[in-house]
Amino acid sequence: MQLTAPLDMHLHLRDGEMLENIAKTSAHTFSGAIIMPNLVPPVSSKEEVIAYKQRIMDAVDNEKFTPYMTLFFKPSYDKAFLESVKDEITAIKLYPAGITTNSEGGVSGFDVEELRPALEAMSELNIPLCVHGETNGFVMDREAEFVSIYERLATAFPNLKIIMEHITTKESVEALDKFQNLYATITLHHLIITLDDVAGGMLKPHLFCKPIAKRPEDRSALLKVALEAHPKVMFGSDSAPHPKHAKEACGCAAGVFTAPIALQVLAELFENENAPLENLQAFISGNAQKIYGVTPLSKTVTLEKKEFTVPSDYNGVVPMYADETLAYSIRDVRNG
C-alpha cells in the first residue's frame, strides 16, 4: 500500500527538549503538518513564528518536512499586522481561554462585534481560522454546545474559512453540511475510542485527551465521513506528547501521542472497514490540499501487511498502542 504526501493538519510539536525528541516521528512519514502555536508563551508575532519554524527545521534535521505555521489568535490583530505576517503562516488558531493545554491567553467571550475587525481582515486576506471548539460547560456537552458559536461565526463571516478542529460529536459532523465555509479535522484516536475505552474500566491515562472521547454514536458519525472521504474533512492527528510522568500522574495531562503509528493504524482501519485506498489518500492528503491550498513536498510512504510491535515509549513519551501489535508496518519512505 502506498500513500502519497501524507499531511497532518493538526500537530503539537512542543518546544525545547520535547521538540528535539519527537519532531522526527512526524517528519519521517508526513510531508507536512499544521503546527499548533500554544507554546508558553504562545506564538503571537511574526518574529516568534519565524523563530519557532527554524527550531522545528533544526529538530527534523535531514527529514523532508514542511511545518505549516500558525499564530495564536488575538482579537487585537489588525489588517496591517496580518498582511505583514501572511506569508509566514498558513492559518490562525483560536482557543477559548483556559479550555485546553496552554490556552489561558485565549478568547474569553465570543461577541461577534469584538472579533469582527480581526476576522474580517482574515477573510479579506484568505487566512483560515482554526478553532478549538469547546465551551466551559459539562465536559461531555462542551463541543455540542459550541456548535451554535460555529454557526454564528460562519454566518457573520461567510468568506472566512473556518476549521472545526478535532471534532468528536455527531452535532459537529452535521454542521459541516449546513455552512459552506465550515470544515473539520478528525483525529486517529477519535475514530477508534469512546469514553468507555478511557474510563469504562481501569483508567487509561494515555487515552485521555481534550476534547474528551464521546459516545459510540459520535464515533460512528466521525468514522462515516472519514471513510467516505467527505470533501470537507481531513486528517489532523492532534498528536500531543507529554512526558510519561505527566500522563501517569494525579492531574493527568490531556493528549494522545499518535504521530509514530498514525499511518499504520489508519491503513488497518480503512482496510477493516472496506474503504477504498483512494478514500484514505483523500483523507490524509487530498482534501487538505484543496481546503488549505497547499502543495506538499513529494513523499511516498509504502506500508506492508507485516506485524509491528509499537515501542513502549519514544524518548520518554508513551504512544497510543504502546507494546501492542499492529497489522501494518512502514516498509519504505521515499522523498521526491
| Per-residue model confidence as pLDDT tens digits over 284-314 | 999 999 999 999 999 999 999 999 999 999 9
Alpha helix (H) ranges present in the chain?
16-27, 46-60, 79-85, 112-125, 142-156, 170-176, 189-192, 195-199, 216-227, 244-247, 262-272, 277-281, 287-292
Phi then psi for 328, rounded to 5 degrees? -110, 145
* Residues 86-144: tens digit of each pLDDT: 999 999 999 988 777 777 777 888 889 999 999 999 999 999 999 999 999 999 999 99
Q: Tell me the pLDDT tens digit for each residue of 180-194.
A: 999 999 999 999 999
* Enzyme catalytic residues: 238
Instruction: Give the orientation angle of helix 112-125 with respect to helix 142-156, to 10 degrees.
Output: 60
Mean pLDDT of 54-69: 97
List Cβ neighbours of 247 (8 Å cut-off, separation of 6 or more).
Answer: 205, 206, 208, 253, 255, 318
Task: Say if residues 188 and 267 touch (Cβ distance below 8 Å).
Answer: no
**Helices then strands (H, E): number in the chain?**
13, 14
Is residue 34 a contact partner of residue 8, using CB atoms and an 8 Å limit?
yes
- Count CB atoms within 10 A of the CB of residue 156: 15
Report the distance separating Cα 128 and Cα 94, nearest Å.
Answer: 11
The percentage of residues in the chain with a pLDDT greater than 70, rounded to a whole number, is: 100
**The CA-based dihedral angle spanning residues 275, 279, 285, 291, taken in that order and rounded to the nearest 10 degrees:** -130
* Cis-peptide into 231, omega within 30 deg: no
| Model-wide pTM > 0.75 | yes
Torsion of CA 55, 287, 157, 82, to 10 degrees: 20
Residue 107: what pLDDT?
Answer: 84
Cell of 230: 467527505
| Cα(320)–Cα(324) distance, integer angstroms | 9
Q: How far apart are the first and last CA of the chain?
A: 18
pLDDT band, residue 74 (cuts 50/70/90): very high
Spatial separation of the C-alpha atoms in residues 13 and 53, rounded to whole Å: 11
Rounded average pLDDT over 173-179: 96
CA–CA gap between residue 123 and residue 206 (Å, rounded): 38
Q: Rounded to whole angstroms, how far apart are CA atoms 105 and 94? A: 10
Looking at residue 244, its pLDDT comes to 97
Round the average pLDDT of the chain to a whole number and report it: 96
**What pLDDT is recorded for position 247?**
98
* Cell matching residue 149: 458559536
Q: How far is CA 27 from the centre of its chain?
A: 15
